[in-house]
């Protein structure tokens, strides 16, 4: 029960931070990304504040022998930059710029029943499922 409660509280805290910081407002996000037009730098302060909190806490928590609710830390081990990473980053950036949402804020915004948020989140989930299917099929073919 402790693990589920910690996940719920973490998710609610993250959602509240996204709402308060304005990350769920697509117009604010597009304004932040519009460097050549009417640029709104306020989200830079939100992201900077998140980095200032995350940086020291990550160093502190990662010194522990294990997380509080699991047997080990699950951290990325790959350090290389490949085509898959570059294409994924490009798709993320294009989606963020066109829709004004990235995954977390899109899911939070669906609670407002906004057509744009629901459409974006639904499309994102279809894309994720399609990618999983593609990698499974591709991996299956590679094993033959």
Per-residue pLDDT reduced to its tens digit, 38-60: 888 998 998 899 999 999 999 99
Taking CA atoms, 40 is separated from 25, 26, 35, 105, in Å, by 12, 12, 8, 18
Task: State residue 23 phi and psi, 5-degree precision.
Answer: -70, -15
**Residue bearing tokens 């629901």:** 118
Residues 82-107: tens digit of each pLDDT = 998 999 899 888 888 888 888 889 99
Count of structural domains, the chain: 1
* Domain housing 98: 2-143
The CA-based dihedral angle spanning residues 29, 46, 58, 96, taken in that order and rounded to the nearest 10 degrees: 0
Residues 56-73: tens digit of each pLDDT = 999 999 999 999 888 999
Interatomic CA distance for residues 63 and 32, integer angstroms: 35
Residue 130, Cβ density class (10 Å: 0-12 exposed, 13-18 middle, ≥19 buried): exposed
Q: Is the pLDDT of residue 1 over 80?
A: no
Interatomic CA distance for residues 4 and 1, integer angstroms: 5
């Amino acid at each position: 029960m402790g693990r589920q409660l910690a996940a719920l509280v973490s998710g609610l805290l993250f959602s509240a931070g996204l709402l308060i910081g304005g990350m769920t407002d697509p117009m604010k996000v597009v304004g932040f990304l519009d460097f050549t037009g009417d640029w709104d730098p306020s989200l830079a302060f939100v992201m900077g504040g998140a980095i200032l909190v995350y940086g020291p806490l990550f160093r502190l928590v990662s010194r522990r022998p294990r997380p509080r609710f699991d047997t080990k830390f699950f951290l990325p081990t790959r350090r290389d930059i490949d085509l898959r990473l570059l294409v994924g980053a490009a798709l993320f950036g294009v989606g963020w710029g066109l829709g004004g949402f990235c995954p977390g804020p899109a899911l939070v915004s669906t609670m407002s029943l906004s057509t744009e948020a629901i459409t974006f989140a639904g499309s994102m989930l279809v894309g994720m499922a399609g990618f999983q299917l593609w990698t499974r099929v591709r991996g299956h073919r590679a094993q033959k």
